[in-house]
Amino acid sequence: MSRASGLRGRIALVTGAAGGIGEAVVRLLREEGASVVATDLGAPRLEGKDVWPAALDVTDSAAVDALIDRVEQEWGAIDCGVNVAGILSTDTVVETTDTTWRRVFAVNTDGVFHVSRALARHMVRRRRGSLVTVGSNAAGIPRHAMAAYAASKAAATMFTRCLGLELAPLGIRCNIVAPGSTLTPMQTGMWADEHGAARVIAGQPERFKSGIPLGKLATPDDVADAVLFLLSDRAGHITMADLYVDGGATLR
């Protein structure tokens, strides 16, 4: 990827960086020579001159603005942003409480808005930058017991596309990566019974794989590779795209 990725020496901000996909995005960005502001609810445990670990709750717009302003002043211009933070609800609609609905939208939709807006305010001045939102293939097709999650991801996806349209005249690109089932704590949590993630319900991984033409779940690196491509100069003429990384599940 390094031949023309253009990521070497750039600064990227990643949310949800302590999770399965976020960790992979941070690792691959560093391998490409980028410096990374790695954020999550608690600061990720990372060390090195090329990483700034920070605690950041994406639902707190004032905290988002403050961190991004601080990084811009003390570290340099943030060239790339990756919205990875997200939470899942698998309640049916009749089970979904107001609190759950609002929480899912607060993280998955409002969080993407807060972070993208704060980054865009700096990027428009420089007329340079690239954003990627990790959406979901659940945003495109109705799923059982996923109304809040799928709706929040559909909103984040359309928001990112509209932002891409606004920023395109400035050369700033905004894209979406839509993973299918990916082997992370979020996914394995769905397979756990009510006693916790340690006990995976028999047959669940096989049931998920059977719906995927490529016959396997995505790894976090599969998703991170797509994120890095869209962030990079190799995707220089791609904006408002929604790249599915789901082994063909959506089109089967």
Cβ closest to ligand NAI, residue 168 vs residue 197: 197
> Closest distance between ligand NAI and the C-beta of residue 246, in Å?
8
Q: Which residue is nearest to ligand NAI (CB)?
A: 19
Residue 141 near residue 149 (C-beta atoms within 8 A): no
User: How open is the CA angle 51-42-78, to the nearest 5 degrees?
Assistant: 35
Q: Which lies closer to ligand NAI via its Cβ, residue 103 or residue 234?
A: 103
- The answer to whether 193 and 201 have CB atoms below 8 angstroms apart is yes
> CB of 160 within 8 A of CB of 139?
no
φ, ψ for residue 35 (rounded to 5)? Answer: -95, 145
Using the minimum distance from each CB to ligand NAI, give the nearer residue, 61 or 170.
61
* Minimum CB–partner distance for residue 22 and ligand NAI (Å): 6
Least distance CB 169 / ligand NAI (angstroms):
28
Cβ closest to ligand NAI, residue 59 vs residue 232: 59
Compute the least distance from the CB of residue 250 to ligand NAI, in Å: 11
By annotation, the residues acting in catalysis are 149
Interaction site with ligand NAI (CB under 6 A): 15-16, 18-22, 40-41, 56-59, 84-87, 107, 111, 134, 136, 179, 181-182, 184-187
Measured at the alpha carbon of residue 193, what is the angle toward residues 192 and 196, in degrees to the nearest 5?
70
Which of 71, 107 has the CB closer to ligand NAI? 107
CB of 62 to ligand NAI, least distance (A): 14
